[in-house]
Structure 1
Amino acid sequence: MTGSEVAHHGLNLVTPLVFLGAAVFAVPLFRMFKLGAVIGYLAAGVAVGPYGLRLIDDPASVLTLAELGVVLLLFIIGLELKPSRLWAMRRDIAGFGLSQVVLCGGILAGVAMLAGLTWQGAVIAGAGLALSSTAFAAPLIGDRNELASPYGQRAFSILLLQDLAIVPLLALVALWSPVTAHAGSTSGWFTGLEMIAAVTSVVVMGGYVLNPMFKLLAKSGASEIMTAAALLVVLGAAALMQVAGLSMAMGAFLAGVLLAESRFRHELEANIEPFRGLLLGLFFIAVGMGIDLGLVASNAAMILGMVLGLMIAKTALIFALARATGSNWRDALKIGTVLSQGGEFAFVLFAAAVSGGILHAESSAILTAVVTFSLAFTPLAFAIAQRVATPGASAIRNADFSTATGNALVIGFGRFGQVIAQILLLRGVDVTIIDHRVDAIDAAARYGMKIHYGDGSRLDILKAAGAGKAELICVCVDDAEVALKIVDFCRVQFPMAKLMVRSADRNQSLVLAGRDVDYHIRETFESAVKLGERALAALGAADSVVGDLIKEFRQRDMERFNRQLSEGVYAGAELLNKKSAFEPTQ
C-alpha cells in the first residue's frame, strides 16, 4: 500500500472522529445545563459544520446514513405500541391527540401560506411545527414524577399520536414530491398498487414469518446473529417501502408494530437501541450542520418572533382543547406549555421536504432554527407554568402546619409512604405526612387524608412539621440523595426521634448503615424474598426446607452486606466516608 493510499485511508477516519468528539463534548455539557441531548447534538453539528469551524463541509454526505437513526427510532416506537396499550388510551389518542395535530397544523399551515409558501410546503411546515418533542417533554414530566398523573397521561397521549403522525406525513412528502413524480414513468395506478403490495408484504411477513424466523435463530445461541436479524428486518422493511415510493420510516414502524406482541420484542429493542441512539444523534448533528448561522443572524428578529408566536399559539390551542375535553385549567396549562415546542420529527420532515423539492433550503433552515430555539425555551416555559398552576401556590409554600401535631412523621407519600402511613393510622398513631407533589396531595384529599405540602429536604419545613417533637420519622422519598440529606438533618437536629428509612437498593443501604439510622430496608428485597419462598413451595419443597433455605439466604446476604460495609467497596462508598455537611465539627 502506497503512502498516498495510507493517507487516504487515514482521512476516512476523520469524519467519524469529528462526529464522536463533538457529541462527547457537547451532549454532556448541554445536559448539565438542562437543555437536553437534542440541543447538544444540534450545537455540535453547528460547530463542526460549514457555517462553524468547517471541519466537515458537506452535511448531505452524512444525512443519508444519519436518516437510518430515524428509521430505527420508528421501529422502536412501533415495538412499544401494543394493541392493548393503544386501546386503553384510544380516546385521548384519537380524540385529544388527533385534534391537536389537525387544529395546530391547520392554523400554522394557514400562517405559512400567508408567508408565501406553496400550499404543499405550508401543510408540511404547519404539520412539522404542530409536532412536539417526545425527547424533551417526557423527561420534563418524568423529572417531577408526574408521568402517571392525569396531565402526564394526556400529554403522553398527544406525544404518542404525534409519533404515529410522522409516518403518514413522510408518506405525504413522498406522494407530493415533484422529484419523485418525475423520477420514473410509471402510472399513478401502478405506483399505488406497488405501495399496497409493499405494505401487504410487510404485514404478511410480520404476521407469519418473523416470529418463526427469530425462534429458529434463537436456538443457534449466537447473540450476534439475533442482532444481525433485527437489523435485517428493520432495514429490509424500510428498503421495501422506499422502492415502492413510501418512506423508509413507515416500513420500519410497521415491522415494529407487528412484532410488538412477540416474545422477542425486548431482545430486539435491546439489540437495536445502541444503533438507534448513535445514528439518531448523527442525524441531529447533520441537521445542525445545515443551520446557516449567517441566515439565522440576519433573520434573528423574525426567528425570535416566530419562536414566541409558535409557543404561545400552541400553548393556547392545546390549553383550549384540554379544557374542552375535561382537564382542569391547571392540568391544561401544564399540558400546553410542556408541548409548546417544535419536535425532533420536524427536522426529519423538513429534511425530507427539502430533498423532495417541497420546501426551499432557506425556508427549511429558518423553520429548523425556530424549532431549535423553541426546544431551548421549553424548560423555562414549563417551569413558569408549574409555578402558576400550583394550586394556591403562595398558600402552599407558606403551608399551615398548625395541625401537624403527630408523634410520627412520614416524609414522602408515594407508593411506599402510603403503606407505612396506613399501617400507622390503623394502630391509631397520630401521623403527620408531608410531600412536595401537588398531585399526590390532591389525590389523598379525595380520600379524606390530610397531606401537608412541603419539601422534606428543607430544615425549616421539617421543624414546622413537628420533627423536633416526633418519636418516629419515616423517610420514604424516592430520590436517594434527597433521602440522605434528610437523614443528615434528622440525625443532627432531631437525635431523639427513631429514624427509619426506605432504601432504593443495596448501595443506598450500605451508605445508610454508616449514618446511624435506626432501621433501613431495601424496598424490593423483602417482596423478592417472599416470592422466592413461594416459588420453592410451588416446586414442592417442604415448609421446613423452605424455612431453612430462606434463613441461610438471609444469613449469607447479611454476611456479604457486612463485608462490603467494612471494606467500603461499593458504589457510593465515598458518601459514607465523606463527612456530612450537616454534622457539627467536634
Structure 2
Amino acid sequence: MEPETHMADLLLGGFVMLGAALVMVLVFRRFGIGAVLGYLIAGILIGPQGFQLISNAETVLEFSEIGIILLLFIVGLELAPARLMRLRQAIFGLGMSQVVLCGIALFLLIMTATNFTLAASIAIGLPLALSSTAQVLPMLQSSGRLNTPTGEKAFSILLFQDLSIIPLLTIIAALSRAPDESGGQSGWLTALYAVIAIVGLIAVGKYLLQPLLKVIGRIAERELFIVAGLVAVFGSAALMEFIGLSPALGAFIAGVMLANSPYRHELEADIDPFRSLLLGFFFLAVGMMLDLDVVMENPAFVLGAAAALVLVKIAIIFGLGKLFGMATNPALAMGMLLSQGGEFGFVLFSEAEKALLIEPEASSLFGAVITVSMATTPFLMLLSRRFSNGTAKSSTKLDDPGNAARASVIIVGQGRFGQTVSQMLLGAKIPLTLIDIKPEQIDIHEQFGAKVFYGDGTRVDLLRRAGAAEANAIVFCIDDPNFGPEQVRAIVQSFPDTKLLVRVYDRRQLIALKGLGIVGMKRELFESAIDLAKQTMFAIDIDSSLIDEVDEEFRQRDCDRLEAQLKSGGDMFAGAELRFGTGLPPEA
C-alpha cells in the first residue's frame, strides 16, 4: 500500500502545484505583470505558510533547480566560443566590478544598519550582490532582448556571478566558526579543479561529442540527439557539482560545446518546454519556502531591506554601465533588470548557517528579503522597457511565426534589402511570410500596415512553425556575415524540398556557402556598386558601348575568379591576375 500511497500523494501534489500555477499565472499575465510573480504568489498560497496543501518545499526546490541547469544550457547554445570571447571584457570587467562593488556596499549597509557581527555582515552582504539568473534570463529571452547590447551585458554579469560562487564559498569557509571537518577541500583547490574540468569538458565536446552527433546524424534518429544533448548537460552539471561548483555553470559549458553544432536549434526546441516548466516549479518552491511568520514579525525591516537592496544595486549597476560606455537609458534598464537578490543567495545563506556565522532566523529573514526583491522585478521590467536601448516601448505585439498563414515564400530579414525583395514578390502576387528579429523594425512595418512576425529566422524550429516544410522557397535577407555552413546544412537537411536563396555579405561568405544546396546567392553590394560605376562613366561622357563592354568583361572576370577561389579552397589571391588594375586589395 505504501508505494500506491506515495504515488497518489505525488499525483495530487503535482495537480495542486500545476493547478495553482495555471490560475495565478493566467491572472498575472492578464494584467501584463509577468509569470514569475504569479508563480511566487501561487507557491505562497499552497505552501506551509498558506493553505498547507504542499509541505515538502525543499524537495520541490531541489528538483526544480534542474530548470536553472537547462536554462544555462540553452543560453550556452546561443553563445558560440567566438561570441563568448567577444564578451570576455564584459564578463570579467563589468561582471567582476558588479559583484565586488555591490557586495562591499551591501556588507557596509548591513554592518552599519544592524547589530550583526562583522563575519555575519559579510556572509549576508556578499550573497545579496548576486542576481536571479532564473528570473532575468527567461524575461530577456521572451522579450527578444537577450542579444541586444543591454541584454549581452546583463548576461555577462549573470555569468560572472555564477563563477563567483567559488570565491564566495571560500570566504564563508574561511570565516567559519564550525569545527573543522576532515576531508574538507580548500577553495583554491576547488578553483584549480574547476579550470581542469572546464578544459576537459571543452576537449570532450570537440573530440568526442561533435563526432558522435555526426554519427547520430547519419542514423537520422531525432531522439538520439536529445539523449546525447542531455547526457552532455547532466554529465557536465554533475562534474561541476562534484568539485564544488555551480552545476548550472557545467550545463552552460555543455551548451557552448554544442553552440557550433548544426543540431543546436533542434536541441533547444526539444528541451525548452522542460526548462520552462521546471523554472515555474522553482519559483513555486521559492514562494512555498517564504517564512510569512518572519515577514509578519518584521514587516518594516523586510520591506525596507528589500527596497534598499533594489535601490543600491540599481545605483551601482547604472554607474558601472555608464563607466563601461553604455548610454544612460540602457544603463538604467540594466540596473533594473539585475536589482533583485538571486537564487544562489539561499544556497550561500545555508552554508553560512552551517558555518555558524548566522542564526537560522537571520537566514529566513534575508531569504524573505530576496523573495520580496524578486517580486519587484516584473514591475521593474515593465518600467525598464521604456529605457532599454534608449527607445520607448514598442506598441506592436510581437507575433510568433507559428501564427502565420501558410505562404509560398518565407523572407527572413526586413531591413533595406529584405524590403525590396518582398516588394518585388508582392508585385507578382506571391503570398509571403515575413520574419525579423528586431522589434523596432517590426514596429515600423506595422505603421505601414505590413505584418512581420518576430523571431530568429535562422532557427530550424522557428522555420518549421512558420511553415517552411510547405513553402516553395526561403529567402534569407539578413545582414549577417556569420550566417555559416552549419546553419545552412541544418536548414537544408530539415527542409529538403524547399529552395534556399541567400543574401551574402561578401565573396568570402559566398565561397563558404557554395555547394550546400542553396539555389541562389547575391552579394549585397555587388549590383549596386556596378550600377554606380556605370553611372560614373556615363556622367563623364564615356561611350555607352564601352560601358557595356566593361560591364560584361568585369562580370566574366569576377565569375572566373570565384571559380579559381573555389577550386583553391578559398584562397582569396587565386585568380588575382584576372582583376583590372594592380596594387588593390581583393574586393568583396
TM-score for the superposition, normalised by structure 1: 0.61
User: Which residue in 2 is equivalent to 1:366?
Assistant: 365
2:472–2:499: 8 Å Cα contact kept in structure 1? no
Q: 1:192 to 1:83 in 2, by over 3 A?
A: closer
CA deviation after TM superposition for structure 1 residue 159, in Å: 3.1
Superposition deviation, residue 174 in structure 1 = 7.4
Are 1:96 and 1:325, in contact at CA under 8 Å, matched by a contact in 2? yes
Q: Distance in 2 between matches of 1:533 and 1:7?
A: 56
Q: Which moved more, 1:258-267 or 1:379-388?
A: 379-388
The answer on whether the counterparts of 1:96 and 1:158 sit within 8 Å (CA) in structure 2 is no
Is the 1:342–1:375 contact (alpha carbons within 8 Å) kept by the matching residues of 2? Answer: yes
Q: Measured at CA, do residues 32 and 243 of structure 1 come closer, stay the same or move farther in structure 2, by a change above 3 Å?
A: same
Q: How do 1:511-522 and structure 2 match up within 5 A? A: none
Is 1:501 the counterpart of 2:449? The answer is: yes
CA separation in 2, counterparts of 1:47 and 1:136? 20
**Following superposition of structure 1 onto structure 2, how do residues 260-409 of structure 1 map, counting pairs within 5 Å?**
260-347=259-346, 350=349, 360-378=359-377, 380-381=379-380
The aligned counterpart of 1:512 is none
Cα shift at 1:32: 2.6
Aligned to 2:246: 247
Q: What is the aligned partner in structure 2 of residue 153 from structure 1?
A: 149
Aligned position for 1:168: 164
**How many Å apart are 1:310 and its aligned residue?**
1.8
Once the 2 structures are TM-superposed, how far is the Cα of residue 479 of structure 1 from its aligned partner? 8.8
**More moved, 40-49 vs 58-67:** 58-67
Whether the 8 Å contact between 2:90 and 2:157 is mirrored in structure 1 is no
Aligned-partner Cα distance in 2 for 1:95–1:390: 21
- Counterpart of 1:478 (choices 443, 460, 463) is 443
Quote how far apart the aligned CAs of 1:415 are: 5.8
Is the 2:67–2:277 Cα contact (8 Å) retained in structure 1? yes
CA distance in structure 2 between the aligned counterparts of 1:193 and 1:137, rounded to whole angstroms: 30
- Give the letter aligned to residue 295 of structure 2: V
**Partner of 1:326: helix, strand, or coil?**
coil
Following superposition, the deviation at residue 209 of structure 1 comes to: 1.8
**Identity over aligned pairs, percent:** 37
SS at 1:219 equivalent: helix
Per-residue displacement from partner, 1:527-557 (whole Å, max 9, x unpaired)?
739994858x9899999xxxxxxxxxxxxxx
Q: Give the match for residue 98 of structure 1.
A: 96
Question: Who is 1:459 aligned against?
Answer: none
Deviation at 1:140, TM superposition (A): 7.1
Q: Which residue of 2 aligns with 1:39?
A: 37
Q: Quick one: which amino acid aligns to residue 502 of structure 1?
A: A
- In the TM superposition, residue 220 of structure 1 has moved relative to its aligned partner by 3.4
C-alpha deviation, 1:54, in angstroms: 0.8
CA distance in 2: counterparts of 1:172 and 1:533, whole angstroms: 51
Contact 1:287 1:347 in 2 (8 A): no
> Which whole-Å CA distance do the structure 2 matches of 1:268 and 1:233 have between them?
12
Aligned to 1:83: 81
2:290 is paired with a residue whose SS is coil
Decide whether the 8 Å contact of 2:475 with 2:501 is kept in 1: no
SS at match of 1:528: strand
Cα distance change of structure 1 residues 351 and 155 upon mapping to structure 2, 3 Å threshold: farther
Q: What's 1:208 paired with?
A: 207
CA distance in 2, matches of 1:357, 1:532: 66
| 1:107 partner letter | A
Q: 1:146 to 1:235 in 2, by over 3 A?
A: closer
Q: Contact conserved, 1:45 with 1:285, CA < 8 A, in 2? A: yes
2:255 corresponds in structure 1 to 256
In structure 2, the residue corresponding to 1:209 is in which secondary structure?
helix
DSSP-derived class of the 1:340 partner? coil
Distance in 2 (alpha carbons) for counterparts of 1:305 and 1:171: 28
Choose the corresponding residue for 1:72, options 58, 70, 73: 70
Q: 1:54 to 1:92 in 2, by over 3 A?
A: same
Match of 2:235 in 1: 236
The C-alpha deviation readout for 1:542-577, integer Å capped at 9, x for no partner, is: 99xxxxxxxxxxxxxxxxxxxxxxxxxxxxxxxxxx
Alpha-carbon RMSD:
4.7
1:528 matches 2:475 = yes
Partner SS state of residue 475, structure 2: helix
Deviation of 1:165 after TM superposition, in Å, equals 1.9
* Letter in structure 1 aligned against 2:158: Q
Are 1:57 and 2:55 matched, yes or no?
yes
Summarize the alignment of residues 481-492 of structure 1 with structure 2, pairs less than 5 Å apart.
Answer: 483=446
**Structure 1 residues 31 and 4, CA, compared in 2 at 3 Å: closer, same or farther?**
same
Number of the residue aligned with 1:460: none
Q: Which residue of 2 aligns with 1:48?
A: 46
Q: How far has the Cα of 1:302 moved from its partner?
A: 0.8
Change in 2 beyond 3 A, CA 1:6/1:112? same
User: 2:68–2:248: 8 Å Cα contact kept in structure 1?
Assistant: yes
| Superimposed CA distance per residue, residues 443-488 of structure 1 (whole angstroms, 9 cap, x where no aligned partner) | xxxxxxxxxxxxxxxxxxxxxxxxxxxxxxxxx85399xx4xx7xx
Greater alpha carbon shift after TM alignment, 173-182 vs 63-72: 173-182
Counterpart in the other structure of 1:492: none
1:290–1:365: 8 Å Cα contact kept in structure 2? Answer: no
TM-score normalised over the length of structure 2: 0.60
Aligned residues: 434
The gaps in structure 1 that reach 5 residues or longer are 394-413, 425-438, 442-475, 487-499, 507-523, 544-586
Q: Distance in 2 between matches of 1:247 and 1:505?
A: 37
Q: 1:387 to 1:197 in 2, by over 3 A?
A: closer
Amino acid in structure 2 at the alignment position of 1:214: L
Any idea what the Cα deviations from partners look like across 1:307-327, whole Å, max 9, x if unmatched? 221222222222322333334
* C-alpha displacement of 1:118: 6.2
Match of 1:546 in 2: none
Task: Report the Cα offset of residue 416 of structure 1.
Answer: 5.2
Decide whether aligned partners of structure 1 residues 195 and 183 sit closer, same or farther in structure 2, where only a CA change above 3 A counts.
Answer: farther
How big is the shift at 1:255? Answer: 2.4
Q: 1:419 to 1:216 in 2, by over 3 A?
A: closer
Distance 2:340 2:417 in 1: 36
1:194-231 deviations in whole A, cap 9, x for unaligned?
66665554344233222222333343333333323322
